[in-house]
Structure formats: C-alpha cells, structure tokens
C-alpha cells in the first residue's frame, strides 16, 4: 500500500534476517562444508580478529584447525563433527581471550548450510548459572501456585525483571489481527507504564513476527551501537548474504533502533511466548541506559516464558473445557426438546432461553422449510430471509461466524443494534434452512500506545518510513462489532448441526418407510375400489332394473302407497350407485399424478359458466368476476375445484332475488389466493371444519340436493397442488370459500401425494 510517495509496506519487505552485520558486543565466525567432510571459514565479522590465529584476510578459506585461536579449536571442532547441527544456539563453554576478555561460546547451524560460531562478551558475574538458578527456581515455584491469568502474567513480569534488572518488563499479547496489547507489566517507575495499551500490527511486521517465532530470544544491549560488517558480504559458496535468523548477535533494523530511541530506551530484550507452536506474545524488556544480559539469564527468562505459556494454556484450556461442558448440557436439552416436538425443529422454540444461552446470543432465528421463527432481539423476518438467501449464495457453508456482519453483508448495517454479529449453521442440504444466532453491536473504547492512524513520520520525497515518535495513550471508539464467537461456541454449534442433520436423516428414513407402507396401502385401496365398482355397482343396477320392470308390469296391482315405495327403492338404489361412483373418483384423485400446465383461469371460468347455464336458467343471477391470472396446475383438478365451488354457489343461492356470486383473487408473496363469495343461505362458522369432510352436509337433502363429497374433492385437489382451503360464513348471510395455489416453477408437479 502506498500513500503519495510513502510506501507503507516497506517495513514488511525489509530483509531483517540477512542484515549483513552484527552488534558489536560479540564476534561471529561462519564455516561452510567443503564437500570432503571438512569445513572452511567462509565469512566472519570484521571484529573477529581476537578469535583467530591468523589475520582475517588470510584465515578465510582455511579449515578451523588452522584459523582458530587455540582456546577455541577443540570445542568448535567437536561441534562441527555433529551429524545434525541444531538451528538454535547451544552453549559450548566460556573462554578468556586476552584481547576480548570473557566470552560465551554459542554455536548453531544455519538454514543455508553454514555453521555459525558466536562469541558473546560477558560482563560481571550475572552470567554465572549458579547465581541465576536460585532466582529462576523461585520464579517457577511462584508461577505454579497461581491460577488467575492476570496474576500469572504479573508474576512472570516481576520475575523476569528481578532476573534481568531492566527498568520495565511488559507482557505483550497478539490478537487475531496481530495488534498487540500489554496485558502484564512490572517496572521501577523510570519508564512510563504501558499497561493495557494497544499497539498496531505495523509496529511488528510479519517477517519480524516470524523471526520471533523461530528465534525466541533477542538482545539489544545498546541502541546506539555501530554495526560490525560481515566479511565478505556474500558467502562465496552460495553467493548470498549470511542468514542470521537464529543468531544472538544479529544486527537489527535501523527503523527498530530509531523506534527504541523514540521510546527513550537505550537497551531492550525480548523473549517469545509460543502457545502450541504459534506466537502468542512477547516478554519485552526496556532500560533507559545500555544493559548487557548474559546468555544464561536470557535462557532463564526463556524458560520462564515457556512455563508461562504452559500456565496460560492450562488456564485457557480449563476455561474452554468448562465452557464446552456447559454448552453440551444445553445442547442435550435442545435435542431432548426436538425429540418431543413435531415437527422436530419446532422443539427449539419451546426452549427459547436455552437456544439463546447456547450461543450467548441476544436473538435467534430458525429458518426451516420456508418457515421463519424469531426469538429474542432479531431483525425482522424479511431481513432474516434476505440474510439466509445471501448465506445460501455463499455456497451454503456448514457454519458461518463473524463479529462484524455489516463488513461482509452491507444490508446488516441497518440492524447492528440487534445483529452486528452472526453465528449460523446450515441444517439441511436440500433447502436453505439455518439456525442463526445474533449478537448486538458492543461499542468499545481501545487505548492505543500512540495514534495508530499516524504510526510513522516521513520526509517528503522519501519512501522510507520512520517509526512512531509518540507513544502517548490515544483512545479509539470501536463500532460495528459484536463480542466475537469463541472456539467453544463455534465448535459446539457445529456439533449441534451434526446432531440435527442426524435427526433429519432419521426422519427421511422414517418417511421412506412410510412411503413404502403408503404405496402398499394404495395398492390395497385400488383393489378395494375395483371391488366396489365391480361388485356393488352391478347389484344396484339390478335393483333399479327389476324395480322399474316391476313398476312397468305390475303397477296396476299396486296401491298408491306401494308405487311410492317402489319409486323410493329406485331413487335409493340410484343414489347408492352415485355414492359408489363418487367414492371411487375421490379415491382415484388422491393417487393420480398431476400433469401441470399453464391454465388460463379466465377461459376456464367462462367454460364452466357455460356448462352451468342450465342450473341458472330462469333465475336472476348477478356475476361479479375479477380478472384472474394464469396459473400452473393440473387442468382437470383445477376445473373440478371451480366447478364444485360455482355449482354450490348456484345451489345455495336458490331463492335469492337476485343471487350474487363473486369470483376474485389476490396475488401474494408465495401463492395466489382465490375466493368464491355468494349471498346464499350460508352456514354456522362453528361447523366450518366439517364442510370439507367426505359425506359431510350442513343442510338437509330435502332442502338442497347432493351427497356431501364435492367440497372434499375440492380440498383434496388443492392439497395435491400444495395449497390451502377454508371457508367463512354466517347463517342467512352467505358464504365465502377460499383456496390458494402456490407459485409453481416450470416442471413442478405439486405434491405426488397419498390418498
């Protein structure tokens, strides 16, 4: 990223692992294998003369036995015979050289195949292990007795300062975005407190964080040092600069040195805190004056950092385990509620408090098979449906979690008060079905160590960044974010999803078994229907035929009463035959496949009116018909629906002067609503549920003819299309019959349902 002539990424690209120089408080020698099982000196720091038996220029290219000071030969030669050289420095001993004093010998292998020997100057007696060990043991014992994270961090800072004597020791933790916050501190008051201050990720760029992960210790005894060059600058064997990633003497970036000066610290030391192999944070030490800390003390601090990481992990693991156990208990209650509900997903609505507590949410939504249930503080149902549609467009991830929803889904900016954070799990692979949890926006104030918007200064015309010059506390109000979802919450939600998917699969298996049983029952019903049509219709025809023949041949012998009885027999037999035919038709309609086509409802209605003209002949009937939309459905069944409803309207308005019949519709979001209204005899609304039953009648047959199966056929035909039927009426004031038809896409066939 650039701003004008300022390149903001220059720090992140700086090759800090190959600076080409070291700090002057030690010397460095680099050996490279010669291919014949031996080693030769290929590079050295310009100040390495006291460690050599020859002048530096004459020593380059020669073996260690020829070039090393006699005091170094044995230990270095022994190290070079190791089959695998460690990449982290290991101490080889302490020697005294007349020209350089006491030196700690450290050695390690480099990523480029070189073997590095570093000789670090010792000052005073603080480097002796017998003086370090008692304090280190006390520090370890203190850390092991503490359980609270804040106390553990404070203790670590105190013990490191006691070991090193620095003015200020900070425990610095990285967050998910690599911003750092001071979470522990100990000091003597000579340097300002940075406790709770936050520092931007740009202060420690990515390649610096990687070096902290690889090389856990770093010391800068004097920020005003003059770097000592490595001679020659490039390794003759590789043609590249010497890799100093694991060096204890590695020179640091000039930008970092300037950063230290701006902090008013002349010396610093850092020890990395790794948690499960990841850089968790740093122990960062500062002093107003130059200060040398021996390798033994640094190693003791490194051990404290490792114990600190173990204690932090233990605290976090304990909290995580407690959280997971609590969530598992809630999950068990949710699953139990679902097991007792029908449909099972509705069980979640029966335990709303548990559903919210499960994810620490203020609101939740259950979107399942085109239904949307809202619990607690949530956006409106239409907003939730829009969010679900967006989630489905993301490829229907099994889980989605964010604490800043509006950054990913801009429409969410309108409901941050209820849903700035979202955790969602998909509970079906066939439909866009989700359980969603919402968290509201939490406005936080963050204290930065300096304004993160102005982290550096620079001179016009230069692309080089300068480090920040001010570390005065600066406050920022953080908006548009909710409390982040924890790992335990996300993983337990995933477990709940798997459990629900298991329920869905079991339900699918049960439905498959039910479908097979239903298919068997349908076959039996077909056989039964055939038996009715074959075995019952013939006897009824015989009854009618013989009764009519008897009437024709013997009518004169019968009295008027006898002839009336004979007519009743004929009428009853005809009615029984009609009942059999209608029952057979009703059964067949439940099993037949739909053949959906586009239907012109206006033309269909006109055809039915024409067919029903004989029924309204001689009667005053006022028709009020609204324009009807084209729909998609089975033409035979839709004709049956309209024909039955219009025929009933004509029948039950008999005696009205005039009869008024209205047909209308209303297009809704997912379906089209149709109605047929009349001003006929009406019905008692209390009996509305009986209207659509088979052979159910609310009026005597003496008043209005019929067998009570027409409306049952209407409901079955509409059900087959996935619609709904109902009616409203008042005695003597007419009735309205409603039915809906869902908006079907081309090729859909509605329900291939059972009888």
**CA–CA gap between residue 171 and residue 155 (Å, rounded):** 10
Percent of the chain residues past pLDDT 70, beyond the cut: 80
Does position 123 have pLDDT exceeding 80, yes or no?
A: no
**The pLDDT value given to residue 398:** 84
Among 392, 375, 403, 482, which Cα is nearest to 434's?
Answer: 392
**The pLDDT value given to residue 458:** 45
Q: Which helix (H) or strand (E) holds 729?
A: strand 725-730
Q: What is the pLDDT of residues 617-631, one digit of tens each?
A: 888 889 999 999 999
**CA–CA gap between residue 424 and residue 490 (Å, rounded):** 9
Q: What is the pLDDT of residues 720-734, one digit of tens each?
A: 888 999 989 888 888
234: pLDDT confidence band, cut at 50, 70 and 90?
Answer: very high
**The pLDDT value given to residue 693:** 66
Question: Taking the model in full, what pTM does it have?
Answer: 0.62
586 contacts 716 by C-beta, under 8 angstroms: yes
**CA–CA gap between residue 603 and residue 580 (Å, rounded):** 32
Does position 133 have pLDDT exceeding 90, yes or no?
A: no
Q: How many CB atoms lie within 10 A of CB 637?
A: 21
Residues 6+ apart with CB under 8 A from 66: 53, 54, 59
**CA–CA gap between residue 634 and residue 594 (Å, rounded):** 6
**The pLDDT value given to residue 752:** 38
Q: What is the pLDDT of residues 66-97, one digit of tens each?
A: 999 999 999 999 999 888 898 889 999 889 88
Task: Locate all alpha helices (DSSP H) within 340-438, ordered by sequence.
Answer: 347-350, 352-358, 381-393, 405-408, 416-419
Q: What is the pLDDT of residues 431-476, one digit of tens each?
A: 678 899 999 887 665 566 555 655 444 444 443 444 555 555 555 5
**The pLDDT value given to residue 715:** 87
**The pLDDT value given to residue 397:** 73
**CA–CA gap between residue 211 and residue 244 (Å, rounded):** 10
Q: How many CB atoms lie within 10 A of CB 429?
A: 10
Q: Which helix (H) or strand (E) holds 271?
A: strand 267-275
The CA distances from residue 367 to 267, 419, 431, 502, 518, in Å, are: 60, 16, 10, 18, 29
**CA–CA gap between residue 129 and residue 393 (Å, rounded):** 63
**CA–CA gap between residue 713 and residue 120 (Å, rounded):** 98
**The pLDDT value given to residue 652:** 84
Does position 506 have pLDDT exceeding 80, yes or no?
A: no
Burial annotation 460-472 (CB, 10 A radius, 16+ → b, else e): eeeeebbbbeebe
């Amino acid at each position: 990223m650039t701003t004008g002539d300022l390149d903001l990424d220059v720090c992140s690209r700086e090759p800090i692992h190959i600076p080409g120089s070291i700090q002057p408080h030690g010397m460095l020698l680099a050996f490279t294998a010669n291919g014949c099982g031996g080693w030769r000196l290929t590079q050295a720091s310009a100040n390495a003369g006291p460690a050599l038996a020859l002048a530096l220029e004459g020593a380059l290219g020669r073996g260690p036995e020829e070039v090393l000071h006699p005091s170094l030969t044995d230990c270095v030669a022994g190290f070079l015979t190791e089959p695998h050289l460690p990449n982290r420095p290991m101490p080889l001993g302490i020697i005294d050289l007349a020209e350089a004093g006491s030196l700690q010998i450290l050695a390690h292998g480099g990523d480029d195949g070189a073997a590095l020997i570093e000789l670090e100057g010792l000052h005073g007696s603080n480097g002796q292990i017998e003086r370090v060990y008692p304090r280190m043991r006390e520090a370890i014992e203190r850390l092991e007795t503490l359980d609270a994270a804040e106390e553990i961090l404070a203790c670590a800072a105190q013990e490191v300062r006691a070991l090193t004597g620095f003015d200020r020791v900070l425990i610095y933790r990285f967050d998910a975005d690599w911003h750092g916050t001071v979470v522990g501190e100990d000091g003597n008051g000579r340097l300002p407190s940075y406790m709770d201050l936050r520092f931007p990720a740009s202060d420690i760029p990515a390649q610096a964080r990687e070096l902290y992960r690889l090389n856990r210790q770093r010391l800068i005894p004097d920020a005003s040092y003059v770097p000592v060059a490595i001679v020659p600058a490039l390794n003759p064997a590789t043609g590249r600069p010497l890799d100093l990633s694991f060096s204890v003497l590695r020179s640091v970036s000039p930008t970092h040195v300037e950063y230290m000066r701006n902090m008013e610290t002349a010396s610093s030391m850092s020890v990395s805190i790794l948690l499960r192999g990841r850089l968790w944070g740093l122990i960062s030490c500062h002093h107003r004056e130059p200060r040398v800390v021996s390798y033994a003390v640094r190693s003791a601090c490194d051990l404290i950092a490792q114990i600190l990481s173990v204690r932090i992990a233990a605290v976090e693991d304990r909290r995580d385990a407690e959280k997971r156990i609590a969530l598992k208990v809630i999950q068990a209650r949710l699953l139990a509620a679902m097991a007792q509900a029908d449909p099972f997903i509705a069980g979640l609505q029966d335990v709303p408090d548990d559903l919210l507590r499960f994810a620490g949410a203020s609101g939740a939504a259950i979107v399942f098979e085109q239904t949307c249930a809202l619990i607690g503080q949530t956006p409106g149902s239409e907003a939730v449906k829009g969010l679900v549609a967006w989630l489905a467009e993301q490829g229907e991830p099994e889980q989605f979690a964010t604490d800043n929803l509006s950054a990913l889904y801009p429409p969410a900016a309108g409901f941050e008060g209820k849903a700035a954070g979202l955790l969602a799990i998909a509970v079906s692979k066939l439909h866009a079905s989700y359980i969603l949890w919402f968290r509201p926006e939490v406005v936080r104030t963050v204290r930065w160590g300096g304004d993160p918007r102005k982290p550096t200064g620079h001179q016009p015309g230069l692309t080089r960044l300068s480090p920040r010059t001010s570390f005065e506390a600066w406050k920022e109000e953080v908006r548009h974010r909710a409390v982040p979802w924890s790992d335990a919450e996300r993983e337990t939600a995933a477990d709940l999803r798997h459990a629900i998917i298991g329920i869905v699969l079991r339900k699918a298996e049960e439905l498959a078994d039910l479908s097979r049983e239903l298919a068997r029952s349908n076959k039996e019903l077909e056989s039964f229907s055939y038996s009715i049509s074959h075995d019952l219709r013939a006897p009824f025809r015989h009854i009618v035929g013989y009764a009519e023949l008897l009437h024709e041949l013997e009518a004169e012998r019968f009295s008027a009463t006898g002839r009336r009885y004979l007519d009743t027999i004929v009428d009853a037999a005809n009615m029984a035959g009609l009942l059999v035919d209608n029952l057979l038709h009703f059964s067949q309609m439940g099993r037949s496949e739909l053949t959906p086509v586009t239907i012109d409802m206006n033309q269909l209605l006109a055809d039915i009116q024409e067919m029903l003209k004989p029924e309204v002949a001689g009667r005053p009937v006022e028709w009020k018909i609204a324009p009807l939309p084209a729909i998609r459905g089975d033409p035979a069944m839709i004709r049956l629906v309209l024909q039955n409803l219009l025929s009933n309207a004509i029948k039950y308005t008999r005696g009205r002067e005039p009869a008024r019949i209205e047909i209308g519709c209303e297009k809704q979001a997912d379906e089209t609503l149709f109605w047929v209204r009349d001003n006929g005899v009406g019905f008692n609304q209390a009996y509305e549920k009986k209207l659509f039953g088979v052979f159910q009648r609310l009026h005597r047959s003496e008043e209005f003819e019929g067998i009570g199966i027409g409306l049952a056929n209407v409901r079955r035909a509409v059900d087959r299309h996935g619609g709904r039927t109902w009616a409203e009426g008042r005695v003597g004031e007419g009735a309205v019959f409603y039915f809906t038809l869902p908006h079907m896409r081309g090729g859909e066939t509605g329900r291939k349902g059972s009888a």
